[in-house]
Structure formats: C-alpha cells, structure tokens
Structure 1
Amino acid sequence: MRFLAVCTAVAAAAALTGCSGAGGASAGPDKVTLWLMKGSASDEFVDRFTASFEQEHPGVDLDVRIQEWTGIGEKVDGVLSGRGGESADLIEVGNTQVARYIETGGLSELTLDGMRRWGNQDWLDGLADPSSIGGAQYGVPWYAANRVVIYHKDLFADAGIKTPPRNRQEWIQATQKLDKGDQQGIYLAGQNWYVLSGFVWDEGGDLAVQNNGTWEGTLHDDKALAGMEFYKQLQALGDGPKGADEETPPQAEVFARGKVAQIIGPPSQAAAIEAANPALKGKLGFFPIPGKTSDKPGAVFTGGSVLIIPEKARQRDRAIDVITALVSEKWQTELARTMSYVPNKTTLAHVVADNEGAATMAVGAAHGRATPKSARWAEVEAENPIKPYMTAVLTGQDPRKAARTASESITTVLNSER
C-alpha cells in the first residue's frame, strides 16, 4: 500500500521512516499535489500554509489544486484507479464519502501513522469512524461542522427564559412558552432528517445496521420510533412545513422575519439571518442541541472533511508530511478560527472558545456521529425514503407502518449491486 514497489515489503516501517520520493536533488523539487475542495479553506489560509510548508521542507513544491464538489466522486475514482488522467498525492474528501472509496479500492492505509504521528485517540468519532473499516484507518480527520440551536435572545428574555435548556424536558417546556400568538417556538421543517438522526441516536437507535455483511434499515425499531416521536412533539411547537425540508423555504429567511424563537442549523446561518434582517444583529445566540439528560448534549450528525492518500501517490512520504502539518495544533487553530470550524480533536476545542458559534458546535461534535458506513449511503440520500416517512408520521399516519416502508427501501438500496 505504498507508492513505490520497494516500499511494499516494509509497509509498517514506511509509515515511520518513509521511502525516498520520486525526485531527488538532481531531479529538482519534489512536487506534492494536494486537492482541496472549494470553500473548505480561504485563499489566505492556503497561501499561508503553502508558504510555511515549503519553507519548513526545502526542496518540496506544494501544488494545491482547488476542486469543485460537483462531480468530485468520479474524479477521485479516476485518481484511485489510475485511469482518470489526473493524479494527486493527497485529497480532501467528505467524511461520509470515504466508505465508497474504501470499497472501490486504491486508498493507502494510514492506521500506524494515525497512532504514532497524529494522536488518533483524540479524533472526533464523527470524522474518524466513517474512515475506518475493520480497524484499518484510511482517512485522517481535518475539520468538522454540525448543527446547533440558533435562538432569538429577545424572545427568550420576553418569555422569562434566562438560560438555554440543557435537556429535552427543559427544551420542550421553554419552546412551549415561546410558541404563542403569531410567534413560533421553533421553526422545524418536517423533513429535516439530519436532526431526526440525532434524536434516533440519542434513543440508542440507528438508521441502518450491518449484520454479517448484510445491511438492514432500522427506522421501524422501537428506539428509532422514539426518536421520531420526540421530533413530532418538537416540530408541533411551530409552523414548519410537514412536507418539505429546511431549505424549502430556507429556514434562515423564515427566522429573519423576527417571529421565530429557534431553528436548528449550522452557526453560519446566523450571518444569513443578520444579512436578511440587520435589526437582529447581536440578538442571536447559540446552544447545543439538548440531550435526554443534562449531563451531555444531544447527538448530532457530524459533517466535515478528511484527508486520504491514494495508493498510487507518487509522493506518499511527502503527503504524510503535509497531513502532519495540516493536523498540527498550529494549523488546526488557524483553520478553525479562520473558517469557524471545529478542530479535528476533542482536545483542541479550546482554540475556538472565543467564537460562540464554533464553540457551541464543538460541544456537540464531541458526541457527534455520521451516517451508516456504507458505500451506498449516498444512493439512499439520493432517493431518501426518510423524508416521506417523516411527513407521513407528522400528518397522522401510522408511525410503525411508515417506518417499516422506509426501512425496506433503505435495506434494498444498501444491499443492491452496483
């Protein structure tokens, strides 16, 4: 699983000592190609990182190429197979995409490097777990983001709510106080399945599980149904559409009208709210999605990016050096503060303590999870039987029957042949 044939016999040692690069002093600088996704890091961050890395690694030319999310799967497949006409030594991918690349093959294993170089014991589970199969690690967490509760401070104060709720019971009670007249206690669209996932996980359920190599949708499980029941109770304390998701209409626009006390979304939506209604500037707050008890916040879906190295990378040892720099406390701090992200480790949450939105995300990220670790989960999302299931329950249909229908659809997709 190394980039030169002479390395394959000592793969474990190569993780520590590396093999010689493709180029030497006589061949000019070692060129390392890094693919980053558009919007993941600012131009200023990329420029500063590149200059610093090249200064600390004389003889290395770091070539950062920005990629579009649209169509990236096929491009990465091409690099991993060696048939795409392009090459890269290190690639940023979404945390939920890694299972697909592991299945198709062509990834370099990074288990030993994670243990000995990068402090994998502190990685966020929501980033690290989707990148591992059978104890082997193929992706290195880079940054995370997740949903929080964004609330209108004035409306909370008017309702006599002095502190944000810390558990579900307090949350329901507070939202009931806030839901009055033409004011919505919370705007929660009926098909926000990412939020539902957290409630299901809190109950000990899941969207799907794998047993003996076979996947099964599990929305009809009692624990998953309990998560949906809480979603229904919360969603009723506002006027969110039962047959649409949070982007139809965009929930930030609804909140900006000033008559909504809460929404659930990434903290970055606060900027959109303030842009739409400048009168709300300084009046927005954040708190973690409450859990069943006050001792820990609710589970959240963790999104974000990880770094992978193709088996065919020409500069694997240099790619290791780039990862080492990108996940260092210095550059994790720079990225998190520049982009308002959550760092890749629980032990680095303190670096965003001065950013209320990012700090709130970090609390939830410590208990974050990702979607089922299947190469076909993206196909489930494309069809997404979870959304009509949610609408069915919210409009009074039998929850167990609707859930079983959704579970059967998930099962069919996850076990289908490509």
Structure 2
Amino acid sequence: MRFLAIPTAIMAATALTACGALPGSGGGSKTVTVWLMKGSASDGFIKSFTESFEKEHEDIDLEIRIQEWTGIVDKVNGVLEGKDSADVIEVGNTQVAQYAETEGLSELTLEGLRDWGGKDWLKGLAEPGSINGAQYGVPWYAANRVVIYNKDLFRDAGIKEIPKTRAAWLADTEKLNEDGRQGIYLPGQNWYVLAGFVWDEGGELAVEGAGQWNGALDSPAALKGMDFYKELQGLGNGPKDADEETPPQAEVFAQGRVAQIIGTPGQAAQIEAANPGLKGRLGFFPVPGKTADKPGAVFTGGSDLIIPSNTDDRRAAVAVISALVSEKWQTALATEMSYVPNKPAYAHVLKGNPGATAMAEGATQGRATPKSARWAEVEAKNPIKPYMTAVLLGQDPREAAKSASATITKVLSSDR
C-alpha cells in the first residue's frame, strides 16, 4: 500500500511491454503477463530483468504491463473474476486481504517457506500477505517514514548525536525550539505516525476476535501512544486539524527554520527543489524507540506480488516471483529505486544512501494496518484523524477514542 488511501475511480492504465525472446534463444512457448505499478521499477530495471529471465527460461516470454494506482482495485478484481488476465500482479501490501476475500488468489505458503526464505521477510510486508496462516502475498519491496532533519539547526542547538530513544528525542526537540527555530513540524492528523507510537506501546488500531474486527484506539496501550503523539506534536507549531499534505510538510520544512519532519526519505528531493540552499544539509534517522536497542515501530508501505488462481501457468508465474524476490534482483531494485528490500540481510546494498539506510533500519520494526478486507473503507472515512484533532484540542482522550473505535468497528463489520 502506498502512503495514501487506496483510490477507487477507474482510470485507463498506460502500458510498457517488454516481451519476446532474445535473439538466438529459440523463442518461448509460454507468455507470462506481469502487472507492475507505475513508478515501482525503472525502465532499465524492467529491461534488464526481462532479458535475464528470458535467457534463463527459454520456454517463457515475459509481457510486463505497467498499471496506474488509480483504479487498480477494480482492475485486479476484474482479473480475479476472469474478466481480464494476468499471471503475476504487484499489489499494495495492505490490499492483499481484500483480494484474498474473493478466493481468487493462489496460495504460496509452500514456496514461501521452502524456496523464498519467507521466515526472513520483513514483518510489515509478510504479515499483510498472510491470511489465516496461508501466504497469498509475497513481499517485494518496502518503504517507511524516517525523521528528516536540518543538520545546521541541530549543530546550532549543540546536538552532536542523533537521538536513539523517545526521551532523548523529546529533550533534543525541546532544545531545538530556541532562537526562532521550530523543533519539529508534526501536523495533528498524521495518523500513520500515530500508529507507530500505538504499536510501540503494545496497542492496535483494531483487533480481531471470534471473526469480528473491533476498533481498539480506546485501549490503555493505544491511549499511551496518543499521549506521546500529543507531547511531541506540542513541541512544534504544526496545525492540529490538518494532515501532512495540508500544507505539504516538505514545503514548510524548506523554509529553513523547521528542524525536523517525519516522512519518507524521498521528500528530501522535494525540500531541496523548493530550497536549493538546503542541498547537502539534510540528515535522516529512524523514528526513535522507547529504548535504544531498537528503533520505534513504523507503518510499512510497499508492495507484494500475487498470483491469480485462474492463471494459465502457475509454474511459470512462480518462476517469475522466484526471480523477482531473489537476492540478485532484490538488491538491484533496492539500489536502483532506493527501496528497502524484502529481507534485512539484503539492506547492505543501501550503504552510502543515508535516507534509504535509515529507512531500512526502521523497517525492521515495520508494521502494517489491520488485515481486514475492509480496512481501505476505514481509511476512506478515516475517523482516526478527527479523533487526533479532538485530543490535541483538549477533549477527553478516552471518550474521543471510544467514538473513533466505534466508527472503525461499524465500518469493519458492515456488509458490502
């Protein structure tokens, strides 16, 4: 799943086709259609992967089609219902549950454990792809939030080391608030960041029991996560009734007086584009945890690979996934696109890329949203945002949390 809610409007997808056997390969007897999402892989990666795969599998031709995220849910459902065809599909990691509900996915548990080293996958990618103990989504790559900071402002405040614990983070942020600086810009409705604090406390956004999902923001642990969010948010001037896109936090940071924001490393490019004077002056570190031995929990977005059960050639589809999740192509994709690979053991290739390195370190504590097929509907309604604003404006946290949890429960338990 990307860091935005899953869109539902249908939009025509553009296509980039890479098919046909290499000269002298003798041609292929099977054509495997692979849907990849726009922006997930560069043209160079797709070309290299296709040529290498077809050389190693002379009986398979690859047809790689690039899809838009807008409208992808309806398009994938079309494949699962037999209205369209594809053999391997890239999907958002948190979309797997809703596709699995259709009973149109091929189970990949055996291959995951036997051939792909599934026990070593990143938790935030692997867990959303596992439904009732069966693996349907195969982790491909991940991305998550980190702290982006202004090195000059940290130096001016006398901060020589990045904070490793929440307590140190709060102390440093308070110190950064002097001399016209803003220690952190944290909008009041950045609910993905809140989710990490909730998970750190042992809480959940929603829990499942006896076949029913229920909102859990009013649990003592989840309320502790909101308490920390309120404390951190209060050390800056971020709006209490808006999210990180209103206004875009990269633009606020680019003005040069904000010391920290929490976002994906890719926002550094937006900051530098808005203020070229900050080029080379940005740093990154994982969201600190409660103790120094591990970073804080973070929402892990990214992609999984699925195989529709109605594929014409499951063997060939499995071969494509085997290649895409291999060390060779995992490290190639991570290097090319600055993604976090699906196993921490592969993250060494990100050395020299400070943003991606911080992201990979944080990904070890990555989590995903609840594995309900209806979670996308919760995000569309999103009662978490007004709950956060209510608490930040002084309303009783427990009562506000109970109200938000009740809405979550209603959405997750409703019939379509």
Once residues 414 and 123 of structure 1 are traced to their aligned partners in structure 2, the CA distance between those partners, rounded to angstroms, is: 28
Residue of structure 2 equivalent to 1:94 = 92
Aligned to 2:362: 364
Name the SS for the 1:104 alignment partner: coil
Say which SS state the counterpart of residue 101 (structure 2) adopts.
Answer: helix
Amino acid at match of 2:138: V
Rounded to whole Å, the distance in 2 between the matches of 1:243 and 1:165 is 28
Whether the 8 Å CA contact 2:146–2:284 is kept in 1: the answer is: yes
AA at the equivalent of 1:383: K
Q: Does 1:352 align with 2:350?
A: yes
> Quick one: which amino acid aligns to residue 151 of structure 1?
Y
Would you say 1:302 and 2:304 are equivalent positions?
no
Alpha-carbon separation, structure 2, partners of 1:52 and 1:300: 35
Give a deviation string over 1:285-343, Cα, whole Å, max 9, x none: 00000001111100000000000000000121111111111111111111001110000
Distance 1:59 1:129 in 2: 33
Distance 2:97 2:63 in 1: 26
Structure 1 counterpart of 2:70, which letter? T
Kindly tell me: are residues 26 and 62 of structure 1, through their superposed partners in 2, closer, same or farther at Cα, counting changes over 3 Å? closer
Does the C-alpha gap of structure 1 residues 27 and 280 become closer, same or farther in structure 2, counting only changes over 3 Å? Answer: closer
SS of aligned partner of 1:264: strand
User: 1:180, CA displacement in angstroms?
Assistant: 2.3
Cα-to-partner distance string for 1:69-99 (whole Å, 9 max, x where unaligned)? 11111111111111x2x20000000000000
Within a 5 Å distance, the mapping from 1:311-330 to structure 2 comes to 311-330=309-328
Q: Give CA deviations for 1:333-375 in whole Å, capped at 9, x if unaligned.
A: 1100111000001211212122111111111111100000100
Give distance in 2, aligned partners of 1:348 and 1:265. Answer: 23
TM-score (norm 1): 0.92
Matching residue of 2:4: none
Instruction: State the secondary structure of the residue aligned to 1:279.
Output: helix
The question of 1:170 aligning with 2:168 is answered yes
- TM-score scaled by length of structure 2: 0.93
CA distance in 2, matches of 1:214, 1:268: 37
Structure 1 window deviating more from structure 2 (46-55 vs 369-378): it is: 46-55
CA distance in 1, matches of 2:379, 2:179: 36
> CA separation in 2, counterparts of 1:162 and 1:377?
42
Alignment pair present for 1:251 and 2:249: yes
Q: 1:153 to 1:26 in 2, by over 3 A?
A: closer
Aligned to 1:411: 409
Contact 2:26/2:58, CA 8 A, preserved across alignment: no
Amino acid aligned to 2:347: A
Q: CA RMSD in A?
A: 1.2
Unaligned 5+ runs, structure 2? 1-24
Map 1:172-191 onto structure 2 (within 5 A): 172-191=170-189
Deviations 1:179-209 (A, max 9, x none): 1243210000000000000000000001000
Instruction: Determine the C-alpha separation between the residues in 2 that align with 1:81 and 1:323.
Output: 22
Paired position in structure 2 for 1:147: 145
CA-to-aligned-CA distance 1:12-53 (integer Å, 9 cap, x gap): xxxxxxxxxxxxx99962100000000111111111111111
AA aligned opposite 2:68? E
SS in 1 for 2:329: helix
Equivalent residue for 1:386?
Answer: 384
Task: Report the Cα distance in structure 1 between the residues aligned to 2:91 and 2:169, rounded to whole angstroms.
Answer: 35
Question: How far is the alpha carbon of 1:272 from its aligned partner?
Answer: 0.6
Matches within 5 A, 1:10-29: 29=29
- Partner letter of residue 47 of structure 2? D
Instruction: State how 1:16-55 maps to structure 2 within 5 Å.
Output: 29-55=29-55
* Preserved contact between residue 28 and residue 61 of structure 2 (Cα < 8 Å): no
Aligned match of 2:331: 333
Taking the aligned partners of 2:119 and 2:349, their CA distance within structure 1 comes to: 18
Equivalent in the alignment of 2:375 = 377
1:64 is aligned with what amino acid?
A: I
* AA in 1 matched with 2:297: A
For residues 294 and 61 of structure 2, what CA distance do their matches in structure 1 show?
45
Shift of 1:105: 1.4
Quote the residue 1:271 is aligned against. Answer: 269
Letter in 2 for 1:300: V
2:75 aligned counterpart, secondary structure: helix
Instruction: Quickly say closer, same or farther: Cα 1:28–1:147, change in 2 above 3 A.
Output: closer
- Distance in 1, matches of 2:56 and 2:177, equals 57
Cα distance in structure 1, aligned partners of 2:28 and 2:229: 60
Q: How many residues align?
A: 392
User: Sequence identity of aligned pairs in percent?
Assistant: 70
- Identify, as 1 or 2, the structure richer in helix: 1
Distance in 1 separating the partners of 2:103 and 2:410 = 23
Cα deviation, 1:148-172, whole Å, max 9, x if unaligned, reads 0000000000000001000000000
Instruction: State the Cα distance separating 1:59 from its structure 2 match.
Output: 2.6
Aligned to 1:155, what secondary structure does the other structure show? helix
Aligned residue type for 1:35: W
Which residue of structure 1 aligns with residue 58 of structure 2?
58
Instruction: Quickly say closer, same or farther: Cα 1:263–1:26, change in 2 above 3 A.
Output: closer
Tell me the distance in 2 between the aligned counterparts of 1:219 and 1:101. 26
